[in-house]
Amino acid sequence: MIDKLEQRTFLIALALVTVAFVFLLKPFFAPILWACIIAVLFHPVQVWLENKWGNRPNLTALTTLTACVVLVVIPVLLLLTSFVQQGVTIYQQIEAQEIQPGKYIDQVRNAFPAIQALFDRLDIDMSAVRERAASAAVTASQFIAQNALAVGQGTFSFVLKLALMLYVAYFLLRDGRALVEKLVAALPLGDERERLLFQKFAEVARATVKGNLVVAMVQGTLGGLIFWILGLPAPLLWGVVMTVLSLIPAVGAGLVWLPAAIYLYAVGEWVSATVLVLFGLIIIGLADNILRPILVGRDTKLPDWMVLLSTLGGLALFGINGFVVGPLIAVLFIAFWQIFGREFHADTGDGNTSDEKAPPQQAPAGNESENA
């Protein structure tokens, strides 16, 4: 009786301490998340270095992290800096009436009377639409300008979180496999289940970042490039906007380049508008279908509707980090229910595929899924 009381008391204390520790780390959620993602994505690089240099964990981890900084961190920082600068410039031009969004809507309406007739049939007030579009443009540009100021004022906090991310990533690269083994030994879920869950985490991180993020960056780069070639204003700004929109399933970069093409048709730039439409449909549109299978392969086959809902839900709850966290939670949800169905309802066979019934293979020691 005393032993059971002591065990329960210990478990309660363990739960309380764990919750307190998670709460303590909450302000650093984003740096820790991205450190884990870096460790998963760049683990193959470290394995390659270990095969070349032997058992030198400190050197291989430091070299891998340096490659990550040079190839990823520095280019992203430069891109964000240029994006903010162009956003501030757009805001200043709108404030000075050099850019008038309502004027562009009037040009499209005058060039396409059928659109005006359609809006009249639907009882849509174009004047209200015009005012809302102008207000939205001012609000968006003002948001970028205000955040640029906030970033400038919070430079120390940003640098601190960036340094923390790289610091944690270094130790995860160096000690990730040992850490995963300790977690597998400590967690009371069963070794097979735990290895499966760690494998799912690695797959989601790899699929989301290599697939969604890289494809979105390619589509945004292509969109910004065609805007620059056609002489449209702020190509870098709109390229980044297309990148962000491409992260959201069923939305995509078409929300930017299609209205731009309509405006070009409205002002008589038929050649530029046609080039933009063809480029958007053929080049930007097919980038997703060509690159995603190559980058993701067989990882994380979520239904399209679940990808959309989990991504939108993640963005709503966790901000920009949600495009990773949302699908991660969705995949772990499916993994838990697959385990439950396989182990507790194996005799009925309800809702289980042959893959779900097969026991998960144990990940090898060098598998990148163990570096989460």
Indicate if the pLDDT at residue 353 is higher than 50.
Answer: no
Indicate if the pLDDT at residue 319 is higher than 80.
Answer: no
Average pLDDT over residues 95-119: 67
Predicted local confidence at residue 300, as pLDDT: 54
**Top-confidence residue, 106 or 256:** 256
Residue 14 burial (C-beta neighbours within 10 Å; 0-12, 13-18, 19+): exposed
Predicted local confidence at residue 63, as pLDDT: 92
Q: What percent of the chain has pLDDT over 90?
A: 6
Indicate if the pLDDT at residue 101 is higher than 80.
Answer: no
Q: Which of 76-80, 82-86, 165-169, 260-264 has the highest mean pLDDT?
A: 165-169
Evaluate whether residue 147 is within a structural domain.
no
The Cβ of residue 287 has, within 10 Å, a number of other Cβ atoms equal to 19
Q: Note whether 269 and 276 are within 8 A (CB).
A: no
Q: Is this prediction's pTM over 0.85?
A: no
Evaluate whether residue 347 is within a structural domain.
yes
Indicate if the pLDDT at residue 363 is higher than 80.
Answer: no
Evaluate whether residue 325 is within a structural domain.
yes
Q: Note whether 34 and 209 are within 8 A (CB).
A: no
Q: Is 315 helix (H, G, I), strand (E, B) or coil?
A: helix
Evaluate whether residue 286 is within a structural domain.
yes
- Helix 43-53 crosses helix 155-186 at what angle (to 10 degrees)? 70
Predicted local confidence at residue 114, as pLDDT: 66
- Rounded CA gap, 101 and 109, in Å? 13
- Band (pLDDT 50/70/90 cuts) for residue 325 is confident
List the single range of 147-156, 173-182, 214-223 with lowest mean pLDDT. Answer: 147-156
Q: Is 285 helix (H, G, I), strand (E, B) or coil?
A: helix
Evaluate whether residue 13 is within a structural domain.
no
Predicted local confidence at residue 349, as pLDDT: 47
Predicted local confidence at residue 369, as pLDDT: 40
Indicate if the pLDDT at residue 94 is higher than 50.
Answer: yes
Instruction: Copy the structure tokens of residue 78.
Output: 């430069």
DSSP codes of every residue in 66-127: HHHIIIIIHHHHHHHHHHHHHHHHHHHHHHTTSS-HHHHHHHHHHH-HHHHHHHHHTT--HH
**Top-confidence residue, 349 or 162:** 162
Residue type, 72: V
What pLDDT digit, counting tens, does each position of 335-346 carry?
788 777 777 765
Predicted local confidence at residue 156, as pLDDT: 72
Instruction: Report how many domains make up the chain.
Output: 1
Q: Note whether 32 and 325 are within 8 A (CB).
A: no
H or E segment to which residue 361 belongs:
none
Evaluate whether residue 242 is within a structural domain.
yes
Taking CA atoms, 216 is separated from 81, 86, 176, 210, 220, in Å, by 19, 20, 29, 10, 6
Predicted local confidence at residue 146, as pLDDT: 58
Evaluate whether residue 194 is within a structural domain.
yes
Residue 308 burial (C-beta neighbours within 10 Å; 0-12, 13-18, 19+): middle
List the single range of 17-21, 266-270, 356-360 with lowest mean pLDDT. Answer: 356-360
Indicate if the pLDDT at residue 229 is higher than 60.
Answer: yes
Average pLDDT over residues 49-65: 88
Average pLDDT over residues 276-288: 85
Question: Please, what sign has the CA dihedral across residues 62, 65, 69, 70?
Answer: positive
**Top-confidence residue, 236 or 225:** 225
List the single range of 117-131, 153-167, 347-361 with lowest mean pLDDT. Answer: 347-361
Residue type, 197: L
What pLDDT digit, counting tens, does each position of 183-199 carry?
877 777 777 777 777 77
230-239 as b/e: b if 16+ CB within 10 A: bebebbbbbb
Question: Please, what sign has the CA dihedral across residues 198, 199, 201, 206?
Answer: positive
Containing domain of residue 319, as a range?
190-372
Evaluate whether residue 234 is within a structural domain.
yes
Mean of all residue pLDDT scores within the chain: 76
Indicate if the pLDDT at residue 123 is higher than 50.
Answer: yes
- Rounded CA gap, 30 and 206, in Å? 17
